[in-house]
Amino acid sequence: MQAALEPFRLAHAQQQAFTVAEFLSPIPPPNNPARLYEFHRASNFQTVEQDIRNALRYGGYRLNQKESVAWPGILVSYWKAIHSLLRAEEARNQGTLGARDLVEVYDAWKELTNHFLRHTSNGALPPWTLVCMYRTANYLRIFAAQADAQLAKSKESVTFDSGLQDDIATPAPRSEKLEETARIFNRIFALCLNDRNPDMSQSRKWGTYYMANLQFKTYFKLKNVSLSKNIVRSINAQSDLPSFEAFPAAHRVTYNYYVGVLAFLQEDYNKAEEHLTEAWNLCLPESLGNQERILTYLIPTRLITAQTIPTPLLLSSYPRLQKIFGPLVTCIKRGDLHGFDTALAAAEDALVRRRIYLTLERGRDLTLRNLLRKVFLAAGYEELKEGQTERDRIRKSRIPLSWFAAALRMSSGAGGEGLNLEDEEIECLIANQIYKGMMKGYISREHSMVVLNKKGAFPGTGV
């Protein structure tokens, strides 16, 4: 066991928090894929506690009295967690993996997480081990989700029968392990947020945003987004947190992303744009997955706040976004109402799953604006008066309502056959565009004309 713990001893002696956290990871390092097996084979269930205590006592460790109590329990819990993890991996390889295997992994890792929480709370562990605690917590979330997924499968296979049953009365599977994990995260978050150590270099407050992000991920997975608002309120109420810019960029990117998504779901699009843009600017260029997640909400947000659509060059770097947004963007640019409706219906499942369907549906207003703008451009220019030059030429601002009606009927129908829209409906659509500020002008019903502003008929488009 002493040899198996040697990497831990060296990292602990130099207070290398991230190296210690990597040692206590359930994933072996790339340069030593057999490390978990080697660590597990260094002892057995009967002697593991004694083996680890002897290794720490006689292995040249520099542990104070409190640490000498904390670390044996942590390392024993880690060994037992690896034991459960390797058993589950073996069962998976043999095709016999069951819910019990993954629940055992979760329970063992929960014990390890609780050891960190308890010894951090009572001050037995030095402040630099904070990284180890929140890294361990992150894996607990993953194991909880895996256990719940396997439990749900097991319940489905047990309750299924060939008879008729009341589907409405069948309860949805609960995510019991993830819910339990959320409660543990609440305790860790409170431990970090409410730390009163005046020495910021030793403060647990540096784990605040990491734990907030883990809570966001957990609540979103549980489809209990409303609880996320409590996290934001708790952080905003703290006056003694270090400056947000002082926290690691990775923590800030994730936090801005989730706060932006929360604002998006509450239809506070200006706030959503602020936070999502900040997350985008901080995101590393090589983090394409994170960029894609941010753009999933930033694109529809910008559609509302600035009436802008992403460029083909931007979408080309993200195939999944190209598949979802590409057809919609093309139809918006063309002013193709029928095409927009068709593309929206085709992507409905993906858009609903991401909770952006209703927002993108409002892109129809932009499509309509572009269609009406095309009619305005096609109307051409006023004839030059005597003494005027080409520089004095202005576009026609009085356009027959029938021209807009023809364009709307053709664009709204399938296959270019047109759609039978009543004149009142067409007037209503144009009036809504004027009311929303997407057109400037008014409808003259007496002359069946749309009278547009000569200086900026379509704001933001240059005409």
Per-residue pLDDT tens digits for 6-20:
999 999 999 999 999
Same domain as 143, residue 39: yes
pLDDT along the chain (463 residues), means of 10: 90 92 93 91 91 88 87 95 94 89 95 95 92 95 94 65 37 78 96 91 93 95 90 92 94 96 95 96 93 95 91 92 93 92 92 93 92 91 79 86 89 59 86 91 90 86 69
Domain membership of residue 47 (yes or no) is yes
State residue 388's pLDDT score: 73
Residue 409 is encoded by which pair of tokens? 């009927």
Rounded Cα–Cα distance for residues 291 and 298 (Å): 10
pLDDT for res 393: 79
Q: Are residues 64 and 207 in the same domain?
A: yes
Same domain, 184 and 265: no
Residue 459 lies in a domain: no
Does a structural domain hold residue 257?
yes
Rounded distance, CA 128 to CA 203, Å?
9
The alpha carbon torsion through 426, 432, 438, 440 (nearest 10 deg) reads 80
Assigned domain for 425 exists = yes
Q: Clarify whether residues 254 and 231 are in a common domain.
A: no
Run of H or E including 449? strand 449-452
If asked whether residues 235 and 304 sit together in one domain, one would say no
Indicate if 352 and 436 belong to the same structural domain. Answer: no
pLDDT value at position 170?
A: 36
Does 370 reside within a domain? no
pLDDT of residue 159: 42
89: Cβ contacts below 8 Å, ≥ 6 apart: none
| 415 and 299 within one domain | no
Distance between CA atoms of residues 365 and 331, nearest Å? 12
Q: Are 112 and 205 found together in one domain?
A: yes
Out of 190, 209, 240, a domain closes at 240
For residue 207, count other CB atoms closer than 10 A to its CB. 25
Question: Are residue 234 and residue 255 in the same domain, yes or no?
Answer: no
Is residue 429 domain-shared with residue 293, that is, in the same domain? no
Are 279 and 321 found together in one domain? yes
- Per the structure, the complete domain to which residue 17 belongs is given by 6-158+172-240
SS3 427: helix
Distance CA 227, CA 259 (A): 12
In a domain, 164, yes or no: no
In a domain, 165, yes or no: no
- Residue 355 dihedral angles phi and psi, to the nearest 5°: 65, 35
**CATH no. for residue 447?**
1.10.10.10
> Is 348 in contact with 288 (CB distance < 8 Å)?
no
And the tokens for 338? 């029928």
By the 8 A CB rule, do 436 and 365 touch?
A: yes
Please indicate, yes or no, if residue 457 is contained in any of the structural domains.
no
| pLDDT the model gives residue 45 | 87
pLDDT for res 146: 93
Residue 410 burial (C-beta neighbours within 10 Å; 0-12, 13-18, 19+): middle
Contacts of 78 (CB under 8 A, 6+ apart): 24, 112
Last residue of a domain, one of 240, 266, 293: 240
| Residue ending a domain, choose from 240, 257, 282 | 240
Q: Judge if 233 and 322 occupy the same domain.
A: no
- State residue 419's pLDDT score: 59
- pLDDT at site 258: 96
Overall number of domains in the chain: 3
What is the predicted pLDDT for the residue at 463?
A: 66
